[in-house]
Structure 1
Amino acid sequence: MRQGRALWSWLLAEVCSYLGTRFSMIAIPWLVLQGTGSATATGLVAAAELAPYVLAKVVAGPWVDRWGGRRIAIAGDLLSAVAVVGVWLSFRAGGLSVPVLVGLVAVVGALRGPADVAKQAMIPAVAEHSGSPLERVTGLASMVERLASTTGAAAAGVVIAAVGGDDALLVTAVALLCSAVVVAGLLPAQVGRPVVDAGPPQGYGRSLAEGLRFLRGDSLLLSIVAMVAVTNLLDQAYSAVLVPVWVTTHAHGPEVLGLVFAAMTGSAVAGSALAAWKGHRLPRLVVYAVAFLIAGAPRFWAFALTDSVALVVAVVVVGGLASGFLNPIIGALLVERIPSRLLGRVSGLVSASAWSLMPLGALLGGVLVTRAGLDVALLLGGALYLLTTAAPFAVPSFRAMRRPREPEPVAAPRPAR
């Protein structure tokens, strides 16, 4: 039981963090859309949070290696909770002001980035102190992410309908505070200390450059990051703008918005469980390529071609089931290829690169809906998704998935939520 404390307390911190961010992901766009009626403003606010989040992940990597993930995770979650309360206070004091909201959510994003990188950098120590294989820890982490996101999405729709989007933000603040308390009070003190084999001390710039050189030298990782960056861009347009606009256009309430996201992440939990059970026996490249094809374009086209909630939820469930296989495959590849002494730096760079286009995704979704209409935006998004997810069949570097290297005792972040 004492050995397992590291694993379960770390997973609990992840649950709290995911619950909080899922609430804000639904509550803030809904508030902006209801308050302004503007898809462009909705995309702008979503982008204002994501851009600092991505940059902060890059900046935080060398600090995580030098100071350890524990300190940064605690500080980041605590300060994020305070910033979210600031967003709530701005609504309570004067209603919706888009410029003020843009500034506040930018602060939230800048604080969340380091906290997320720091918690992911703890994975090797969590595995060591719990006596669990790295593959089990990363597999459980993927399932926890999906499950917490499912619960958070469903609960967010219900809470927003009951108390309003502004008061629902308090749930995010409480969840982030709980994450910080769990890391500080329950996680063993040895977990999250600086990596002992990080090499001789060097300047911040050289430390960051070393991680960048490693990532640039691995063609498979670069191909995966590029592909995931584009699909994340399209997914952000889908979740932050296209689906909320579809819900309001068809006169549905926030509970339908929560249902759609919960259906995706809920079925992805089942997919992750199947991947953990049988994934190691399946051809890695084929599963990766086919799962991406199923998980992407059909969702966009379903929303464009029907107004039936039951039908779009059915398509989303199938896509979510397929998507559950993706993070375990990507996580296994990263575990095999990233040296432990570069963990914080390369983890931050991989994650930030995979998220780098997401701020543009929210803006793109808003502009497309405004200029071309919702259905055209959805059809075009599906076509771009299909083109991107065909890459593993055409780009030679993806063939390296069939020839995994000997794994090192390292870990890496999941590049998409």
Structure 2
Amino acid sequence: MVVIMGARGPLAALLGANALSACGTAMTVLAVPWFVLQTTGSAARTGLVAGVEVFGAVVGALAAGPVVDRVGRRAASVASDLLAAAVVAAIPLLHGTSGLPFALLVPLAWALGLVAAPGATARRAMVPALTARAEVSTERASGAYEGVWRGARMLGGPLAGVLIALLGPPGVLLVDAATFLGSALLVRLFVPAVGGKAPGGYGHRLRGGLAYLRRDRALRWVVLLVSGTNLLDAAFFAVLLPVYAERVLGSSVALGAIAGVWAGGGLAGSLAYAWLGARLSRRWTLATAFLVSGAPRFALLAAAPPLPMALAALAVFGCAVGTINPVLGVVQFDRVPDDVRPVVGGVLQAGSQWPMPVGAVLAGFAVDGFGLVPTLLTASGVYLAITLWPALAKGWREMDEEPVGARH
């Protein structure tokens, strides 16, 4: 059963489901590393758990497109959220009953990444059809989708910091499980089925998505760029930032404040792009955002400024990063036909995320082996080198061109 709503109601419901999922995920991102750090004291083990979860997400994203095509976008979103709720809830329940050894936490982290990925792919694949039904521009819809996600993470980060202090990481994970259930309920009740089910087997659909990417240089370059930045972003958020909060700031609440300010800046950037994006060059918006939000963030933590100064700078960096995903979303919505959108979206997600487990694991070993500050400064230099590419290579102009007949 789907509750009948106005033309913009289904899109609003999808945005709400995305917000619930993002808020819960923000809490998990902080609670799990803090749990590992508190129980083991090891940055390497923290990086390993984070890396395994992202590896599961990469596998899930690669499989997600054909799976979403087979079962339908709405059904895949609901099933993914229900499975994610079960896996997340298993962590605190096992910890509080029979105990949760590190050897069991690792496969649970992998399973969480695996089952959550198809839901993200399915929800994003529904955006263009619901946008057309709501009669809004792709720039505004992409900005709103990303803005809602950023806003939810802005709330989820500080909430997680406070709840970790009050309830401990297991309590935060139970709240996270409830957010996945809420997301599943919103999609099931208020979002109509769109996109249908695609014919053909898994291999046939996956080959079709890969073939489309081979023909589109702009999307190939996006995957290469984002795979490099995601490696370093995973190192930053999964290992370097939690270690900085524990060893330099000594506070989970400060960690939550940093996450909230970062997401708040991202929300402002996403909303600004939703309002102004149609008038901006996609290439130069992307290039500027990466240069402002990337390398300076690592150098800032290496300098260890007072917390208020760090929060102010991170708010600016977050505002810049908030425009990145809306730009990439518009490029994908405009360039990828609807009949291959779930598969191409899954391949894009897997292709850009596969280095993230490597980044998290390497960061953990680097901190244990060389120290926090040398690791931060090295990452800053590598990030700068990677993100100069969109500004220097003329081929990135293709981002501002829409292939004829791409949007359906």
TM over 0.5: yes
Q: How does 1:1-20 map to 2 (within 5 A)?
A: 2-20=6-24
Q: Distance in 1 between matches of 2:403 and 2:249?
A: 52
Aligned to 1:414: none
Q: Distance in 1 between matches of 2:132 and 2:393?
A: 37
Q: Distance in 1 between matches of 2:128 and 2:32?
A: 34
Aligned to 2:376: 378
Q: State the one-letter code of the partner of 2:390.
A: P
Aligned to 1:311: 309
Matched, 1:231 2:229: yes
Is contact 1:65–1:343 with CA below 8 Å preserved after alignment? no
Higher mean alpha-carbon deviation, 307-316 vs 330-339, is at: 307-316
Instruction: Please list the CA deviations of residues 204-237 of structure 1 after superposition, one character each: whole Å capped at 9, or x if unmatched.
Output: 2121111001112211111111111111110111
Q: Distance in 1 between matches of 2:118 and 2:42?
A: 31
Q: How does 1:327-346 map to 2 (within 5 A)?
A: 327-346=325-344
CA RMSD in angstroms comes to 1.6
Q: Distance in 1 between matches of 2:263 and 2:289?
A: 15
Instruction: Please list the CA deviations of residues 95-145 of structure 1 after superposition, one character each: whole Å capped at 9, or x if unmatched.
Output: 452111001111111110111111111113322443333333222101101
Aligned to 2:168: 164
* Cα offset, 1:324, TM superposition: 1.7
Structure-2 change in CA distance of 1:319 and 1:51 (3 Å): same
Q: Distance in 1 between matches of 2:81 and 2:274?
A: 29
Out of 287, 290, 294, the position equivalent to 2:288 is 290
Q: Distance in 1 between matches of 2:274 and 2:82?
A: 33
Q: Distance in 2 between matches of 1:77 and 1:22?
A: 15
Higher mean alpha-carbon deviation, 255-264 vs 308-317, is at: 308-317
Q: How does 1:18-417 map to 2 (within 5 A)?
A: 18-188=22-192, 191-194=193-196, 198=198, 201-406=199-404, 408-409=406-407
Structure-2 change in CA distance of 1:69 and 1:403 (3 Å): closer
SS at match of 2:6: coil
Is contact 2:128–2:333 with CA below 8 Å preserved after alignment? no
Q: Distance in 1 between matches of 2:395 and 2:100?
A: 48
Is contact 1:61–1:348 with CA below 8 Å preserved after alignment? yes
SS at match of 1:405: coil
Is contact 1:43–1:240 with CA below 8 Å preserved after alignment? yes
SS at match of 2:97: helix
Q: Distance in 1 between matches of 2:405 and 2:328?
A: 13
Structure-2 change in CA distance of 1:107 and 1:228 (3 Å): same
Higher mean alpha-carbon deviation, 132-141 vs 11-20, is at: 132-141
Q: State the one-letter code of the partner of 1:74.
A: V
Q: State the one-letter code of the partner of 1:291.
A: A
Q: Distance in 2 between matches of 1:209 and 1:58?
A: 12
Instruction: Please list the CA deviations of residues 4-27 of structure 1 after superposition, one character each: whole Å capped at 9, or x if unmatched.
Output: 221111111111111111111110
SS at match of 1:378: helix
Structure-2 change in CA distance of 1:177 and 1:402 (3 Å): closer
Structure-2 change in CA distance of 1:349 and 1:27 (3 Å): same
Q: Distance in 2 between matches of 1:7 and 1:66?
A: 22
* Cα offset, 1:31, TM superposition: 0.3
Q: State the one-letter code of the partner of 2:87.
A: A
Q: Distance in 2 between matches of 1:46 and 1:94?
A: 23
Q: Give the TM-score normalised by structure 2.
A: 0.95
Gaps of 5+ in 2: none
* Cα offset, 1:84, TM superposition: 0.9
